[in-house]
Chains A and B, each alone.
Chain A
């Protein structure tokens, strides 16, 4: 699976489709060195570069000093000093509020929330303070230098409070940006963009991929533009949209569907807010079918927003209802995690359902999986 990620990332197809797909600029030039890194190392590198290039940037959070619980911040305190990389006490609301203040004075504050499940005490600060700062002060003040990083998502044994995906809550807040990388190379570029973006950004890192995902990551300073979705895999029968760790699951589903003759187009949204509607729209206009997949519970998840928008824009081109393969409407369970998760089987049987291609027996095949 790890190599798969590497494979499909390097398989970045040069823009060929007419919809002017925004391909990322992460091509490693021949002379640049790349190194095989996992996600936490890529993020670590990004943080090193960010702190190096801007002397007024700071990294803080719980336990970041020694490297953090996921080792994303190793070496930073030693290299940049305790004045720029420091631990905070256990108070998320305080940490984010502090970060907002720091950013309001023109600094870049890279705040770490230890697990996305713990971000809720800080929710008020993010929604009411960070998101609205520029707006309510008539552009006199802003906290654009704020970036909040949090590991999110299922990890196999996380249980209720170490596996949540709260991206939907933040996508409902105009004023902040929500960014989710899918792989080490993406993570480094997106994190650097997020830190340098003049708006507050909430950056969710799929914790499952911290060690699992290994990829060739360029060592130089590069940024991946925000609000640009990427077509990872071209296809013609159905469009699949996802983000973060879920893309690896969907990639597997795509491969399974290929065997049944269904050609899938896979899109990585990357930035959830503001999201790249044009790319998805163009893709759906081409294929006529859409399947969205995320780990968060289905009701009110971000898939609903995508579904509604695409319906509005591509209604006449849609050949089947928009399908969402997501987590169930329960608290994230402990032992029931395999039931809860939107696995590749759920995705592939859903895709064969909504895009029964030339052979009708797939329809029956798909239905039988319902029972």
Chain B
């Protein structure tokens, strides 16, 4: 990257397949594209020699650069040839192969073949497109100053939210940091609630008092929405403890980022979870940049899945919804039996850290557009849908138009909603029934009702 970094983005590589796929031509083109991007990566630049160094750092066990040059781009090659092409029906099962094998630490990685169905594929596409559109709409709303405060957008990382939702129930808890709009949506939140909360209106999910960083949904066990980095992980382990205690057969997904992975409290929580065999799954959404700091600058070991030491871990391609799905399914089974596990989702965010970050001072625009071209989760699903003949290009475009309209309607409705009452400033500081209300200039008029 621009400032001399060695950010190693997971290249899209698939091992040579035995099947001669009908789309080989497309794959070849993909191969050429990859070649070109590799050449670009290998060229030494006067200002940033980062990509030059990219070539040098080849970690054993991870995708090696050498494989890049000899394989083809994996996006357009789903290996579902067992079924060939046919007219889709809703319940038809499909097996999809993930883009990359899983890398495991202290456990056996799950298989790369993921069971899915046509319904699921279309659902994935639809929901991810909805999430994407929602985030982009939030971007424009922020620029129009309708959303104040902070706004951390999730576009690029949708696959993590979607893949996770596909295999868990509403009893399984999710807790995350401030990049929570899409997770909330995945947990069953409505667009209206999202936009109302973002704009600080009273119909928002947190009554307008939380804002972008504090989305919660109690009935779906979504515990938010936290501003302080890393603070949500011990909370997540606590929730897992409660779940184990109540014998609910539920797990908790405590999500955090690569920046938070260096917080001490994380390791404290891990130790406790491992000691008491809590069903907690720590999900590191590694988008390679902690705000503006590349992962290799902040962490001695950017293999976040290994950082648990005695806790098993799995590295997953976070841009592939099916890989995420498989990993979460595996993790849930593991956590219920054996205790904590770490999942590292190798993902990427297109926007900057927040709306005040252009996102281009610490990484090149080429890197961003490169990932967008090669690894975009929605594009991947789209190609899968198209190649399986589940829908035509036009149908997908219509779906996207519909989604756009849905989002616009929700925004319009949210704009009409009113702000919370001024008295709400004092509510919920303590349990209802106790709250000091101060009026007047120097607070001479004070009312407090003790519980």
Contact = CB atoms under 8 A, between A and B. Distances in A.
Given A63-B291, A91-B263, A159 B228 contact: no
Given A66-B3, A345-B441, 14 more contacts: A62-B293, A91-B264, A159-B149, A159-B213, A323-B442, A324-B443, A325-B441, A328-B438, A330-B425, A335-B209, A336-B420, A349-B441, A369-B440, A370-B444
A345 B440 CA distance: 10
Question: Mostly helix, strand, loop or mixed at chain B's interface?
Answer: loop
Contact of B441 (A118, A335, A339, A347): A347
Interface in B401-436: 419-420, 422, 424-426, 429, 436
What 10 A-B pairs have minimum CB-CB distances, sorted nearest first? Answer: A161-B227, A350-B441, A89-B262, A335-B200, A350-B442, A89-B298, A370-B440, A349-B441, A336-B425, A157-B148
B189 interface: no
B297 A87 contact: yes
Contacts of A347: 441
B150 interface: yes
Nearest to A328: B438
Contacts of A89: 259, 262, 290, 293, 298-299
Interface of A: 62-63, 66, 69, 87, 89-91, 93-94, 117-118, 120-121, 157-162, 291, 298, 323-326, 328-331, 333-336, 339-340, 345-347, 349-350, 353-354, 366, 369-370
Given A90-B259, A349-B441, A350-B441, A334 B211 contact: yes
Interface residues of B, number: 46
A198 B184 CA distance: 50
15 contacts: A63-B291, A89-B298, A89-B299, A159-B213, A324-B443, A329-B436, A334-B209, A335-B420, A336-B209, A336-B425, A340-B425, A347-B441, A349-B441, A353-B442, A366-B441
A333 B442 contact: no
B297 A329 contact: no
B25 interface: no
Contact of B442 (A66, A158, A325, A334): A325
Contact of B361 (A66, A118, A158, A369): A66
Contacts of A346: 441-442
Contacts of B229: 90, 118
Nearest to A351: B441
Contacts of A162: 150
Contact of B426 (A325, A330, A350): A330
Q: Which of B208, B228, B297 has the most CB of A within 10 A?
A: B228
A161 B152 CA distance: 14
Contacts of A349: 441
Nearest to B199: A335
Interface string B133-159: 000000000000000111000000000
A77 B375 CA distance: 35
B392 to A, nearest CB: 45
